[in-house]
Each structure stands twice: as structure tokens, then as C-alpha cells.
Structure 1
Amino acid sequence: MAQKKVVSIEDRIPKLKQARKKKANRRLLFYLSIFFILISIIVYLQSPLSYIRTIQVEGNSFLQDNEIVKQANLTDNKNIWTIDTDAVESILNDSPIIASAKVSRKLPWTVSITVEEYELVGYTQKESTYYPVLGNGTTLQSMAKKTYNGDAPLLKGFNKETYLHRLTNEMEKLPETIRNLISEVHWTPEKDNNDKMRLYMNDGFIVDARIPNFADSMEIYPSIVSQLEEESEGIIHIGVGAYFESFHNGKKGQEAEKGD
């Protein structure tokens, strides 16, 4: 029968001491690492290393990057951690062009600004100058154009801001595919109907409509057009009901219901 090897306590003591020493060294190294990390953070926060060096702006088309940075009151001599992102977002959201803004930090020294602007829904015209109009009714006087490229409808006759704002609010709700079909919108108020307007479409049709619920009413337009013969010419009336009135025979076509 094999004899078990007996290790004396004297032989084990040096190994125990060595293990304890390694454990103590590891603990010391851990605490030193934490200490230097904390010192590095303090140095970073208190030094120019934490100052803003880069400001990224995304999502803008009407406003230039430097205009947004100026509105946000951000400069490269500010500590990135002293910025109140909520306050900066609130300032930017006060802009008549910006619908929403998001401000965030990107370590070590970058601030990111992402904006969503109100959509371009049309142009107003004064003499030979065209002014972009946004979905909230803001007319961009500083971005006047001498030429019209047809990227949004012309809004004509809206000499009262109230009705222009109502229309632009509806225009922004329209699917882009339908809005792109509109060439011109003329405000044609009547004695008992100030909301009346007439649209000239890029496909040759004319639409008689009202401002209230205009976006909902226009959703049926593609369905009505798809039911008409290719050579048809006339006026499409939309509102409570919807029907087509031909120029050729003066008769009203079949009434079309939403959902056809």
C-alpha cells in the first residue's frame, strides 16, 4: 500500500506567504488604478481638455450650421459638462424654422445637434420674387428666390395670415406624393365661404376644395383620377362628398366615396 506524502507546516508557510503577497499586490494595483482614473477624470474636467472642440449639426437644410450653433449659444471655450442640453434644445425649438431639436455630448469634446425643420409646403410670390413657406406658416423672407423651380406649390391670393397658416398646416399633413401633384393653390373666398380655394394640379386637373380638413379630403384624389378616362378634363370637387365635373359636357361625374 502506497504511503501518503506528508507536507510539514514549515514547508507550507513560504507558499502561503507568497500567495498572500500576490493577493496584496493585486489589491494595491487595483486601488492605484482607481486612484489614477479618478485623478485623470478630475484633470480632464478641470482642464481645457473638456472644452468643446467640435460641434456637429445634422438634419438642417434651411438654416446653416453656423446659424444653429449661434442660436444654441455654444462656443469652443465652454466646458462640455457645463452645457444644459435641455435648455439648448428649448432655445432651438423656439426657432420658427425648427420643429424639434436634440442635443447630446460625444466624448471627449464633441457636441451633437440634430434638428428637424418644418417642411417646405409652398411659395408665395411678390412681383418677380418667390418666398418659401413652411408648414407652420412661416414665410422665409431671407431666402427669397428670383426663379421658381417647382419643388413646392405656389400659394396665391392668401393676403390674410390666418388663412395662410391654416392652409400650410393642412399642406404639411399631406403625403408628399400628393403634395407633389399640386402646382398652384389659389385662395378664392366667397361671401359665405372664406375657406374656399382652387388647386391647379400638375396632371392637368383643377380641384375645388376648402381649407378645413383639406389633407383628409385630398387623400381620395388619386382614387378619383384613376377612375377617369385618360382624355378627361374638368374640375374635381372634394369636401363632404367628391365628384368630377367635366369641361366638355358640363355634367357631373359619379360621386366618389373615400376608400374606393
Structure 2
Amino acid sequence: MSKGKVVTIEDRIPKLKQKRKQKANKRLIWYISIFFLLVMCVVYIQSPLSKVSKIFISGYYNVSETEIIKLSELSKETSFFRINIENTSKQIETHPEIKSVSVEKKLPNKVLIKVSEYKRVAYISNEEQYYPILENGQVLHSLTEATIPSDAPILINWLNNDDIQDMAKELTKLNPSIANSISEIHHTPESSDPLHITLFMNDGYEVSATVRNFAEKMSAYPAIISELDPSLKGVIHLEVVSYFKAYEREEDEESESER
């Protein structure tokens, strides 16, 4: 049996001392790094860099940037590290037109806010005032602008809130391209149909329909007008059976009056 090499204690002592020295050096470097990191943190907190320098907001349309910043309660005096993302999001979501909010802190001191708004599906016209109706059925306060809104249909002669809610739900289901082609929706109840409506389209046509299954019936509108003579305008009936009835021409009316 072969014998292993014998290492004396005198030979091992230098190596042990070297290892201990290396460990001590590593520990010292670690302590120094932590110290400088703490110093940098203190300097950062005490400097203007620790305050919010810029707030970037995206996704807003009807709600102004100023309103969103005011709701967030953030400013250039706000400590970047004291921002509570959850609380800030909840504060912004208190606005009736805001559906959801995403808040992100980006080093060194920027805040990104992305909002998603409820869509305005229509406006109620009342005494020259226009009240936005959101996709969730909520009716807002009247607009402060004097101009007539053009981004959604205008509801005229609507008095019953339940009827308004039903109409809003149908408009939400409607294809955006079709909804954008509607100028006005008049509530024109009939004895046989209290939910009868008359639409005036941006392309000059008139539509006679009902609130019940309105979105489903109205989805056929593009196909219907594609088959009509563009020079003829009239009423497109969508109540039970879909059909088109042209307006009587002035010449026809004059010839009938002469008879």
C-alpha cells in the first residue's frame, strides 16, 4: 500500500494566512461597497433627482391631461419613492369617464400613466345642452363647449331613462363605422311600438327602426345602401322586413297637385 504525501503544519500556515487575508479583503470590499451605496442613496434622496421630474400620460381623449394629473395628486414636489402606485391608480379611476389606469415608475424619477376611457356612444340633446352617454350607460353633466358634438350620434326627444339605457346598450354593440355614420336618433314612439326611432344618417338617408335588436338590424345598413341608387334618397325601414322607400320628388308632387 502506497503512502500519501505528508504536509507539515509549517507548510500549511502560509496558505491559511493567505486565505484568511483574501476573505478579509473581500469582506472589506463588501463593507465599502455597502457604505458608498448608502451614501449615494442619502445623496439621491436629498437631491432634486429624488423628486418627480416628468409625468407622461397616454390614452386620454375626452379627459384632459390636467384633470388626470390633478386626480393623481402628483407634482414635481412629490417624492419618487413615496409614490403608491395602487393608490394613485384608484384616485385617477374616480373620474367617471376613466375605465382603467396603469401607473409605472421609471428610474430615475419619471412616472408613466396610461388611461383607458369609457367610450361616448351618444349625446342627449336638451334645451341646446348636450349630455354625453358612456358605453356603461352613465349620463354625464352637459358639455361646456358651445359646439355641437360630432363624435357620436345625438339623441333627440328622449325622456325615459330606461329607454336611454337600452339605446346606449345597442349603440355599444354597433360596429364603430356604422355608429359614426349616424347623425341623429329621434325617439318617435308609435302606438304599436313605443320604442320606435327615426335616424338621420350623414349620407342623407333616413332610417325607421326600433330599439329592440337595433344593433343586429342596423348591421345590414352598409349592404343595403350599396345596392341603392346614390341619386335617390329616402327611408330605409328596418322594423320587421327591411325595405327602402324613396322620398317623393317635387315634380311628382306638383303633377299630382295639378290633377
Give the TM bin, normalised by the shorter chain.
0.7 to 0.9
Check 1:96–1:47 CA distance in 2 against 1; reply closer, same or farther (3 A cut).
same
- Larger mean Cα displacement after TM superposition, 170-179 or 15-24: 15-24
Q: Does 1:40 align with 2:40?
A: yes
TM-score of the superposed pair, with normalisation by structure 2: 0.72
Deviations 1:198-243 (A, max 9, x none): 111122222222324433332221122223343444332335x551
3-state SS of 1:230 partner:
coil
Matching residue of 1:160: 160
Deviation at 1:192, TM superposition (A): 5.2
Cα distance in 2 for residues equivalent to 1:86 and 1:134: 25
Matching residue of 1:5: none
Cα distance in 1 for residues equivalent to 2:165 and 2:144: 19
User: What amino acid is aligned across from residue 29 of structure 1 in structure 2?
Assistant: I
Deviation at 1:185, TM superposition (A): 0.7
3-state SS of 1:36 partner:
helix
Q: Contact 1:236/1:242 (CA < 8 Å) preserved in 2?
A: no
User: What amino acid is aligned across from residue 142 of structure 2 in structure 1?
Assistant: Q
Deviation at 1:127, TM superposition (A): 4.2
Matching residue of 2:214: 214
Check 1:27–1:163 CA distance in 2 against 1; reply closer, same or farther (3 A cut).
same
Cα distance in 2 for residues equivalent to 1:142 and 1:181: 22
Matching residue of 2:202: 202
Check 1:101–1:210 CA distance in 2 against 1; reply closer, same or farther (3 A cut).
farther
Deviation at 1:160, TM superposition (A): 2.5
Q: Is there any run of 5+ residues in structure 1 with no aligned partner, and where?
A: 1-12, 250-260
Matching residue of 2:140: 139
RMSD over aligned Cα atoms? 3.5
Q: Does 1:106 align with 2:106?
A: yes
User: What amino acid is aligned across from residue 243 of structure 1 in structure 2?
Assistant: S
- Larger mean Cα displacement after TM superposition, 175-184 or 14-23: 14-23
Check 1:164–1:29 CA distance in 2 against 1; reply closer, same or farther (3 A cut).
same
Check 1:35–1:209 CA distance in 2 against 1; reply closer, same or farther (3 A cut).
farther
TM-score of the superposed pair, with normalisation by structure 1: 0.72
Check 1:127–1:77 CA distance in 2 against 1; reply closer, same or farther (3 A cut).
same
Q: Does 1:50 align with 2:50?
A: yes
Identity over aligned pairs, percent:
37
Q: Contact 1:181/1:203 (CA < 8 Å) preserved in 2?
A: yes
Q: Is there any run of 5+ residues in structure 2 with no aligned partner, and where?
A: 1-12, 249-259
